């Protein structure tokens, strides 16, 4: 059963550009394009850049976009104004936030994470540890063992709230409290959280967070990411990437770096104005919806999909947590021929994706996905498995992006 909410999801679906009868269940990897994005970007190109040229930094407020867009994202992740900055990509923001946090715990050298974390976060931690050459170490445990691994040796607990493969969701409030009890700081990756369900960074007393703009926020391929630092840390923190846009007065062109106050020191280089325009337009949709309604609808769609797939495709095994409270806005199944099955499904007009070694993954974005799409996707999956449509050579050749 899909519950009624105050948000009109039929109306929000009409605000997206979706090709024909395609069922798009990959918004957890790249969100669909809001229709207003094209016009906004074109206007920025023609009426701002094309007419104002370099005057656009002042006349159109380009210089302030990282902060103003950051504040809009902040409303979706429970962060007060002045604590979120939009810019760079998730990997760079992980490095900035992690290095800042590590420096704030100089007598500790362990970065704790889990085996379900997204690889780029782990790579950044490994690279930072190697760069520092001070005995820092990335310690990995199973997701369910994180709490038990927290002790007085941990400098930073770095976790992705929602596992990118299975959709398993950590309890941010509980784990943050446990980390603080052990004297550790926290860094949360919200790539699969922001725009998927309500996040409460300030209420959970998180220390730092990062996330991307191109998944549930629908900012477009390679959209600017975001970084959060709790206000209580603004006076003590120093970021290692001392770029000129993070200077106290960038256009004084001083030869010595003086960090800007607050979150603005997390700026590095010149922001991408055209990408910011797309991101800003995409965020307009969030003025029309309630995140609580989005979560209600997401849970119902995921529950419906699990029921339909398990009834129609008993050979598949649920990889996601069965309890909705332990799950983000995606559903994954184990499938021995997962890559080929997904390619056959895409050829049949249902787009999800594959994650090694055997995960077929489906994201549910209520802004443009309804119950009819869920049932249609399950029916297509059933056809592909029963008729072995996946068992064709062209579906087994792996593309560069899976």
**118 tagged catalytic:** yes
**178 tagged catalytic:** no
Asked if residues 190 and 67 have their Cβ atoms less than 8 Å apart, the reply is no
What is the Cα–Cα distance from 252 to 70, expressed in whole angstroms? 25
Those residues with Cβ within 8 angstroms of residue 182's Cβ, 6 or more apart along the chain or in another chain = 150, 151, 152, 154
Catalytically annotated residue among 71, 163, 189, 373: 189
b/e 172-184 (16+ beta carbons within 10 angstroms → b): beebbebbbebeb
**How many angstroms separate the most distant Cα atoms in the chain?**
68
Catalytically annotated residue among 118, 197, 208, 368: 118
Catalytically annotated residue among 40, 165, 267, 361: 361
**17 tagged catalytic:** no
Please report the DSSP string for 353-390 in residue order: EEETTTEEEEE--TTT--HHHHHHHHHHHHHHHHTTTT
What is the Cα–Cα distance from 203 to 135, expressed in whole angstroms? 33
Taking each helix axis as running N to C, give the angle between helix 119-132 and helix 90-103, from 0 to 180 degrees, rounded to the nearest 10: 40
Catalytically annotated residue among 96, 108, 169, 215: 215
Identify the three-state secondary structure at position 113: strand
> From the CB of residue 290, how many other CB atoms can be counted at a distance below 10 Å?
14
Catalytically annotated residue among 9, 214, 339, 354: 214
Which residues are marked as active site? 118, 189, 214-215, 361
């Amino acid at each position: 059963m899909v519950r009624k909410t105050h948000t009109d999801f039929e109306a929000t679906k009409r605000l997206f550009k979706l090709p024909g009868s395609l069922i798009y269940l990959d918004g957890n990897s790249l969100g669909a394009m809001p229709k207003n994005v094209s016009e906004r970007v074109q206007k920025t190109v023609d009426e701002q850049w094309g007419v104002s040229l370099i005057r656009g930094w002042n006349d159109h407020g380009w210089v302030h976009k990282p902060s103003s867009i950051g504040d809009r994202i902040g409303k979706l992740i429970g962060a007060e104004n002045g604590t979120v900055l939009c810019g760079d990509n998730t990997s760079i923001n992980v490095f900035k936030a992690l290095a800042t946090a590590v420096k704030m715990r100089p007598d500790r050298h362990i970065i704790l994470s889990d085996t379900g974390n997204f690889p780029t976060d782990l790579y950044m931690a490994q690279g930072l540890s190697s760069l520092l050459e001070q005995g820092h170490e990335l310690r990995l445990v199973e997701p369910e063992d994180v709490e038990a691994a927290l002790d007085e040796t941990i400098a930073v607990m770095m976790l992705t709230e929602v596992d990118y493969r299975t959709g398993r969701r950590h309890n941010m409030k509980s784990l943050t409290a446990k980390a603080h009890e052990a004297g550790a700081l926290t860094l949360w990756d919200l790539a699969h959280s922001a725009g998927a369900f309500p996040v409460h960074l300030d209420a959970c007393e998180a220390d730092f967070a990062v996330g991307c703009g191109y998944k549930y926020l629908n900012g477009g391929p390679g959209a600017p990411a975001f970084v959060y630092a709790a206000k209580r840390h603004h006076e003590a923190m120093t970021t290692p990437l001392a770029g000129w846009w993070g200077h106290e007065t960038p256009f004084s062109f001083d030869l010595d770096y003086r960090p800007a106050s607050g979150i603005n020191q997390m700026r590095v280089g010149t922001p991408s104005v055209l990408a910011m325009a797309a991101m800003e337009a995409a965020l307009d949709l969030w003025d029309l919806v309630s995140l609580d309604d989005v979560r209600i609808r997401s849970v119902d769609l995921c529950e419906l999909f699990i029921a339909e797939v398990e009834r129609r495709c008993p050979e598949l095994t649920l990889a996601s947590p069965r309890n909705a409270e332990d799950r983000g806005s995606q559903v994954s199944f184990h499938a021995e021929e997962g890559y080929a099955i997904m390619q056959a499904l895409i050829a049949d007009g249902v787009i999800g994706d594959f994650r090694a070694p055997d995960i077929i993954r489906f994201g549910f974005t209520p802004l443009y996905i309804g119950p009819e799409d869920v049932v249609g996707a399950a029916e297509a999956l059933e056809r592909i498995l029963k008729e072995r449509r996946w068992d064709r050579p062209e579906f087994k050749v792996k593309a560069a992006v899976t």
